[in-house]
Amino acid sequence: MTRSTARSEALFARAQRTIAGGVSSDARRMPGVPLFVDHAHGAELWDVDGNRYIDYVLGQGPNLLGHAAPEVQEAVTMQVTRGITYAAQHELEAEAAELICEMVPCAELVRFNSVGSEAVHAALRLARGHTGRAKVIKFEGNYHGWLDPVLYSVHPDPEAAGSPQALRAVPGSAGQTPHGSDELILLPHNDLDAVRSAFAAHGSEIAAVIVEPFLCNTGAIMPVPGFLEGLRELTTAHGSVLIFDEIISGFRVAPGGAQELLGVTPDLAAFGKAMAGGMQVSALAGSREVMNSITDGTVAHAGTFNSHPVAMAAAVAVLRTLHEQRESIYPPMIHRGEQLMAELRAAGQAAGVPLLVEGTGAVFQTYLTEADTVRNYRDFVATDRAGMARLHQRLFDRGVSIVPRGLWFLSTEHTDDLLAETLEAVAAALPGLQEEENG
């Protein structure tokens, strides 16, 4: 199918003259011309050429209540009239922190940042400062932001990364320091035996274990039974800090995040995305014992735009809505998502395409694979990622926008009619998908 792209092409040419690569985040690079949005509302967006899309990207996850949610519009508009930024305290940040402490199991104290990478960086510094140790266990395929200390082995070349029994840390970018990974212990995701071995060898040196409890940056991978529970037991036994990176899962999969959904409470957790309806807010939350190392000034944490009043107004509006209306928000949204997942499986079967669909109704992944599950990065690499890229393009051409690697986010605004329209596009996109590869 052919979309009009003349205006997008002109804007891309213009952007390339003054913006490196024509985009301001590598995540926005696309084959050909990137998406230039004109406006968005609910679960739909329109590009500058007038093409309409049912949106399952939702700003990479933040728009749980849909684009331009009325609650967010009202809160942001009201705060802008009162001032943009103060470099001082204000009531909204206290209200947001109180809501997080009511909603999130691990939250006794909170600090705010602007983006997820900052919150994760703060968590790691805090864990090291609190324990007086340096080493951190990180899992292959987990993404914890683009900053140097953790940008290792997110989606590495398996040959460069070594075998699962002896993983090598692969930097994600040129320009990272040669020894930046010296204090990282890199392990396979969902492998508790590997974690036990690491603690047996280095237990007194390990400051923290950091993990995406629901791994959404490499597929949509749930923890195998006992994995998170085992991490909790091992970190407690060895005096290490357990950190959950809930930048994606927080407030999306449940009001209290993956830790509520899965029943395991970490010492620290990083949040972002879904907590502010698209505004730039992240949070570090954790136990009073660990967070007190910030309270007493042992560990430094600062930022001009931390607790930005306009962003915090959005956060309060969204968090209050999710907290007070949880029963009318989460069950219906998750039910529709699960219904869509089931229909996608059926569409794949009808088209003779091996389409695996895993995750939750709030966020899930489609894979092209004959495997019956995906448990870690190596399983993810074994799927047909080139075929998924083709499926993404076919859906995009038919007015359905998903994250290119196959991730789908749901919002409260994805109606039954939009799901039906989506499935029509999927049914049209699947036939011949694998023949295209062979051709």
Quick: pLDDT tens for 227-271. Answer: 999 999 999 999 999 999 999 999 999 999 999 999 999 999 999
- Would you call 359 helix, strand, or coil by DSSP? strand
Q: Note if 330 is an active site residue.
A: no
Separation CA 245–CA 81 (nearest Å): 34
Q: Is there a catalytic annotation at residue 143?
A: yes
Q: Which residues pair with 206 in a beta bridge?
A: 135
According to DSSP, the β-strands at 268-271 and 135-139 are unpaired
Instruction: Give the pLDDT confidence score for residue 428 in this predicted structure.
Output: 97
Compute the distance between CA of residue 308 and CA of residue 75 in angstroms, rounded to an integer: 13
Task: Answer yes or no: 49 catalytic.
Answer: no
For the chain, list the domains and their CATH numbers.
Answer: 6-68+326-438 (3.90.1150.10), 70-324 (3.40.640.10)
Tell me, what's the pLDDT at 438? 53
Q: Using the predicted structure, report yes or no on whether residue 1 has a pLDDT greater than 70.
A: no
Question: Average pLDDT of 21-36?
Answer: 87
Active site residue: 47, 191, 245, 379, which one? 245
**Average pLDDT value for the chain:** 95
Does residue 439 register a pLDDT over 50?
Answer: no
Instruction: Specify the range with the lowest mean pLDDT, choosing from 34-38, 40-44, 194-198, 372-376.
Output: 34-38
In this structure, the strands spanning 241-246 and 268-271 are parallel
pLDDT at 344 over 70: yes
pLDDT higher than threshold 80 for residue 196: yes
Q: Can you give the pLDDT at residue 436? A: 63
pLDDT digits (tens, 9 = 90+) for 370-383: 999 999 999 999 99
Q: Is 429 helix (H, G, I), strand (E, B) or coil?
A: helix
Q: Is 27's pLDDT higher than 90?
A: no
Are the beta carbons of 282 and 101 closer than 8 angstroms?
A: no
124 is written with which tokens?
């790691």
Question: CB-based burial of residue 345 (10 Å sphere; 0-12 exposed, 13-18 middle, 19+ buried)?
Answer: middle
pLDDT of residue 346: 98
- The pTM of the full predicted model, rounded to 2 decimals, is 0.96
Residue 190 has φ and ψ, to the nearest 5°, of 65, 20
Instruction: Count how many residues are written for the chain.
Output: 439
Cα(158)–Cα(139) distance, integer angstroms: 14
Q: What is the mean pLDDT of residues 36-45?
A: 97
For 68: left if phi > 0, alpha if psi spans -120 to 50, otherwise beta; the answer is left
Q: Can you say whether the dihedral through the CA atoms of 168, 173, 174, 178 is positive or negative?
A: negative
Q: Label the pairing between strands 282-286 and 355-359.
A: unpaired
Rg (CA), the chain: 22
Q: How far apart are the C-alpha atoms of 103 and 53, rounded to whole Å? A: 33
Of the listed 55, 273, 330, 379, which one is catalytic?
273
For residues 283 and 272, the answer to whether their CB atoms sit within 8 Å is yes
DSSP-derived 3-state class of residue 115:
coil
412 confidence band (pLDDT: 50, 70, 90): very high
| Tokens at 355, concatenated | 């389409």
One-letter amino acid at 196 equals: R
Interatomic CA distance for residues 311 and 217, integer angstroms = 25
Q: Tell whether the model's pLDDT for residue 225 goes beyond 90.
A: yes
- Where on the phi/psi map is residue 399: left (φ > 0), alpha (ψ -120 to 50), or beta? left
Amino acid at 257: G
Query: Measured between alpha carbons, how far is 342 from 337 in angstroms, rounded to an integer?
Result: 9
pLDDT computed for residue 357 by the predictor: 98
What value does the mean pLDDT take over residues 339-359? 98
DSSP-based three-state secondary structure for 264: coil
Give me the mean pLDDT over the 308-330 stretch: 97
CA atoms of 152 and 172, how far apart (whole Å): 5
**Which residue among the candidates 47, 53, 56, 143 is catalytic per the annotation?**
143
